[in-house]
Amino acid sequence: MRNIVIFDEYNEIDLKPSELFNTYLKLIEKDVFSFLVNEEILTPCLCPGCQSRGQKEAFVKLGLTYLECESCKTVYLSPRPSEAALIDYYRNSQARIFWREELSKVTASKRKEKIIKPRFDWINGATAEYFPQAKKLVDINTAHYNYIEEILGAEQFEQKILINPFLDLDSLKLSSEIKVINSKIADLYLCNEADVVCLFEVIDRASDVDLLLDKVYKMLRSGGLCFITTVLISGFDLQILWDKAENLCPPDRMNLFTVEGLKVLFERRGFECIEFSTPGVLDLAIVAKTAQQNKSVKLPRFVKYIVENRDENVKRSFQQFLQANLLSSYARILLRKKEK
Ligand SMILES: [Zn+2]
C-alpha cells in the first residue's frame, strides 16, 4: 500500500479568514440546535468503523454527544440525525447559506489552488496508473461550486455525473456535459456504471457510511477506483485538541475515524486499499495556534516544549514524521473494488 508524503506550504488562515469563520461558527451553533438537536429524530448507532458495541462518551459538542469506540478508537456522533434532517440542514440552515454565499466565495481562489487542483492531479495520475480505461466519473455530495468547474475540465472522462441531495445543482445551469442526480444515498440506483467515484469529505458526514460504501461498491465496475479525503481523529492535532479543535463540528464531522477503523470498514465493504496517506501539513501549527488563542487548552509538556523552544526545521521534521506514520489528521485514500 502506498503512502504519499507531501510537504506543501500554506497557512490555514489563507483558507479560513478568521472573522468570517467566527461568524460561521456562531451560525452553526444556533442552527445545529434548531435543526438537529431534537430527540425525536436522533438514532443511536454502532461504531461506523468496526461496528463494535463497546464505547464510552468522548465529549458533547453543540448539544450532540460523541462516543469513542473501545476497540478501534473511532469517535462518532450517537445518537445521530437522520439523512432527511441533514438534507434540511444543508439546504436551508443560515449557517450553510452563509458558507455557500460568503465564506466559500472569499476562499474560492485559494481553495482552488491549494486543495482542488492537487486533488485533480491526484485523480488524473492515479487513474492513468491503475485504471487507464476509465471513462465515467461520479462525484458524490460535491460541496464546492468551483470544484464542479474542475470536474468539467477533466477531459479524460467522457461522462461526468454529480449525485447530491444537499445542493440545488439544477439552479447552476450546468452544461449538458454533466449529468446531475439530486438523490439521497439510500435511493441511488446506478449499477455497475462508474469507473471512478469521488468522495471528498463525504464519509465524515454520512449518516450511514456502510450504506454509502455499499452503494459505491455497486456503482463501480470491477477494478474501479474510489477517491476519498477525510479528517482522522487519530491525527496529531485532533488527539491533542480533542473537543477543543475548531474544525470538529457536527454535523460536518459526524464520523471521526481512526486509521484502524477505516481499514476495517474498507475490508468489510469489499475494497482493496491501494493508497492510504496523511499528507496534512498543519497539525502542529493548528495545535500551537489553538493553544495561543484558547487558554483552556493545556498542551502536554513535550508538545509545549517543541512549540515554544524549537525552530522551524524541527517543526517541519516533526510534521514529516506525522505524515510518514499516518499520524496527521488529514487523509487521502484510494480504494479499488475487489474482484469477487
Ligand atoms: Zn470501532
Between the CA of 235 and the centroid of ligand 1 the distance, in Å, is 16
Between the CA of 47 and the centroid of ligand 1 the distance, in Å, is 5
Between the CA of 278 and the centroid of ligand 1 the distance, in Å, is 20
Beta-strand pair 42-43/80-81: antiparallel
**Distance between CA atoms of residues 185 and 81, nearest Å:** 15
In a domain, residue 142? The reply is yes
Q: How many domains does the chain have?
A: 1
In a domain, residue 178? The reply is yes
How confident is the prediction along the chain (340 residues), in pLDDT tens digits per residue? 776 655 444 445 455 567 888 888 899 999 999 999 876 789 999 999 999 999 999 999 999 999 999 999 999 999 999 888 888 999 899 999 998 888 878 877 777 777 888 888 999 999 999 999 999 999 998 766 677 778 878 888 999 998 887 777 666 667 777 888 888 887 877 777 899 999 999 999 999 999 999 999 999 999 999 999 999 999 999 999 999 998 898 999 999 999 999 999 999 999 999 999 999 888 999 999 999 989 999 999 999 999 999 999 999 999 999 999 999 999 999 999 987 6
In a domain, residue 104? The reply is yes
Amino acid (1-letter code) at residue 226: C
Ramachandran class of 78: left when φ > 0, alpha when ψ lies in -120 to 50, beta otherwise: beta
In a domain, residue 6? The reply is no
In a domain, residue 2? The reply is no
- The residue segments making up the domain with residue 311 are 12-337
Between the CA of 54 and the centroid of ligand 1 the distance, in Å, is 8
In a domain, residue 246? The reply is yes
Where is 55: in which H helix or E strand?
Answer: strand 55-61
This prediction has a pTM of 0.92
Around ion ligand 1, residues with a beta carbon closer than 5 Å are 47, 49-50, 52, 69, 71-72, 74, 261
Domain harbouring 310, CATH code:
3.40.50.150
In a domain, residue 1? The reply is no
Between the CA of 275 and the centroid of ligand 1 the distance, in Å, is 21
Between the CA of 160 and the centroid of ligand 1 the distance, in Å, is 34
In a domain, residue 247? The reply is yes
Number of H helices, E strands in the chain: 14, 13
Between the CA of 48 and the centroid of ligand 1 the distance, in Å, is 7
